[in-house]
Structure formats: structure tokens, C-alpha cells
Copies of this chain bind each other. A is one copy, B any other.
Amino acid sequence: MTDDSLPPPVTASRTVFFVSDGTGITAETFGHAVLSQFDLRFRQIRLPFVDSIEKAHDAARRINESFALHGQRPIVFSTLVKHDLSSVIRSANGMHMDLFQTFVAPLEQELDVKSTHTIGRIHNAVDTEEYKNRIEAINFSLAHDDGQSHKNLAEADVILVGVSRSGKTPTSLYLAMQYGLKAANYPLIPDDFERGKLPSSLPPFKAKLFGLTITPERLSQIRNERRAGSKYASLENCRYEVNEAEHLMRREGIRWLSSTTKSIEEIATTILQEIKPDRREY
């Protein structure tokens, strides 16, 4: 079968379990990535905090029940670091995809170090510097949403600018939540366009500025969902604002990208590459 031959139409859906000794976020991310390669619908069940033999037997029982009910073995994505818990799950009648069992053993061999088999290492480190920085970044980004505060901009890792509803707020919060970056954001508004200048507190921080733009058509559509029929949402006004904002950013030498067809994850990743290459590169 080649890439051109389409998969058969969706008929039945298979049941998928995400089993984890922690939150299950990794198991879901891992499973969703793999499942996204199939044009099928899946019945999804998440079983987090499976951190004892009793809970593992309970999870195995649910997998077996699903098999009995639907007559097809469920797909089981699991991230269980303890062998005994993992064995119980694997004894259930399912198709097992186990992240740790698959990848940890070869890595132990490669690194010549035994793994710790410690549960909850991934999202559990509340007392680390990294976690504190993330919470601080979320608070910073919230306090500096939509130009609300001019304080401590020197602390910002990035300052997003763009017209209202170009995607600045969710992107700022995502950068804070996912990467612990202090992300402020400022709207570019008609006042700025008339003056032909950036909001007055921004010029000292030009190196941190990053612009978001958007097509006038998409902007008008988004604004109409909020304020249908307003001048603010009109295509004419959106054209004016986007045009002026792009002029301003070009004149000020601000890097920018278009958020029109990008998800917040894609926007954030691109900004990260542009603004902070040093954090994650050698």
C-alpha cells in the first residue's frame, strides 16, 4: 500500500488506555502522537496515579473488561517505571506499548548506568528551582498581559507585540507554562499608529521584542466572534490595523511571524528558536 491509497472509512473505534504511575500526561502525549498517524477515532481512557499493585490489578481488570465488552483488544500506552506494576498491566489482554520498558533498558546499556526506577520523577519536582521559575514566569506573564504593567520589563525574556487578537495572550501563557519564560505582551493600538511609534515603555527592550501578525481576514473573523458587527471587527479596520502594525514593526526592525495558521505550540517554538537559542543549544 502506498501513501496515496487512503485508509478505509472509519467504522468502529478501538479503545485506548493511557496508564501511568503519575499524571498520565506523558502517556497521553506519547499515545496521541502515535495515534495521530491513523485516520481512526479512538475511545480514550486515562488511568493516572497507578502506583500500587492494587491499582495495577484494578487497571488490568478494566482493560480486560473493555476487551470482553468490545471484542477487540484495547491499545495500552503505559509509562510505568516499576517492573512489578508494568508486569501486572502487561498481563491484561491488550496491545501493549510501554515507553519505559522499550527505551530505558537500551539506554541503561548505552550509558552504563542503572536507571533509578523512581515514580513521579517527571512532573513531581515541586521543590526544584526549575518549577519555581515556571510558577514565577506564569505570574509574571499574567501581570504583564495586554500591557497591564510596565514594571520589571527588564526581567522579561520576551515581549510580544501585535494588534488585539493576534494571539499574544495564549502564546505568552504557553511560553511561561511550558518553558518557564517570562513573557510580557503589549497590544499595538491606533494611538501607536497615529504617533508612528512603539508604546513608550518598549524601546529600551527592543532586543526582546517579537511581533505577531495575522491576515486581516482571519483577524476580522476572530474579532467578529467577540463583537459581531463592530467597527473594531470590520474587515476594513482590521486591514488598517494589520497594515499599520506591520509597517511599524518593519520600521523598528522587530522580528515577527504570522499566527494565522499556526497553533500556540508552533508560535511558541518558533519564538523560542529566535529569542532564546542559548538556553537549549550548546
List residues of chain B with CB within 8 A of the CB of A7. Answer: 113-114, 116
Determine, out of A99-107, A199-207, A246-254, the stretch whose residues face the partner at the interface.
A99-107
CB within 8 A of A114: which of B1, B36, B282? Answer: B1
Contact with B along A183-216 (1 / 0, CB 8 A): 0000000000000000000000000000000000
A91 within 8 A of B: no
The residues of B that contact A122 with a CB separation of less than 8 Å are 32-33, 36
Stretch at the interface among A23-31, A156-164, A227-235: A23-31
Q: Please report the C-alpha to C-alpha distance between residue A46 and residue B125 in the assembled complex, in whole angstroms.
A: 22
Contact A38 B75 (CB under 8 A): no
Verify B266–A23 contact, CB threshold 8 A.
Answer: yes
Interface centre among A5, A33, A79 (most CB of B within 10 A): A33
Closest Cβ of chain B to A81, distance in Å, is: 6
Tally of chain A residues near chain B (CB < 8 A): 81
In the bound complex, do residue A37 and residue B3 qualify as a contact, i.e. CB atoms below 8 Å apart?
no
Q: Which of A65-115 contact B (CB under 8 A)?
A: 66, 73, 75, 79, 81, 95, 97, 99-100, 102-104, 106-107, 110-111, 113-115
- A280 beta carbon closer than 8 Å to chain B: yes
Q: Considering the chains assembled together, what is the distance between the CA atoms of A39 and B115 in angstroms?
A: 8
Q: Could you tell me if B138 and A170 are in contact, using CB atoms closer than 8 angstroms?
A: yes
A contact face: mostly helix, strand, loop, or mixed:
mixed
A:18-57 near B, CB below 8 Å: 22-26, 29-30, 32-34, 36-40, 43-46, 48-49
Asked if A239 CB lies within 8 Å of chain B CBs, one says no
B107 & A34 in contact (Cβ 8 Å cutoff): yes
The residues of B that contact A37 with a CB separation of less than 8 Å are 81, 100, 104, 107, 115-118, 121
Is A169's beta carbon under 8 Å from chain B? yes
In the complex where A114-B5, A118-B37 touch, is A131 in contact with B95 (Cβ < 8 A)?
no
Q: Which 4 A-B pairs have the closest CB atoms?
A: A37-B115, A36-B121, A123-B265, A23-B269
**16 A-B contacts, Cβ less than 8 Å apart?**
A1-B114, A7-B113, A22-B266, A32-B122, A37-B107, A38-B116, A39-B116, A45-B281, A46-B280, A49-B270, A75-B107, A95-B106, A97-B103, A97-B107, A123-B266, A139-B170
Name 8 extra pairs, CB < 8 A, besides A15-B282, A37-B121, A48-B269.
A3-B117, A5-B114, A32-B122, A33-B100, A36-B121, A43-B282, A123-B263, A123-B266
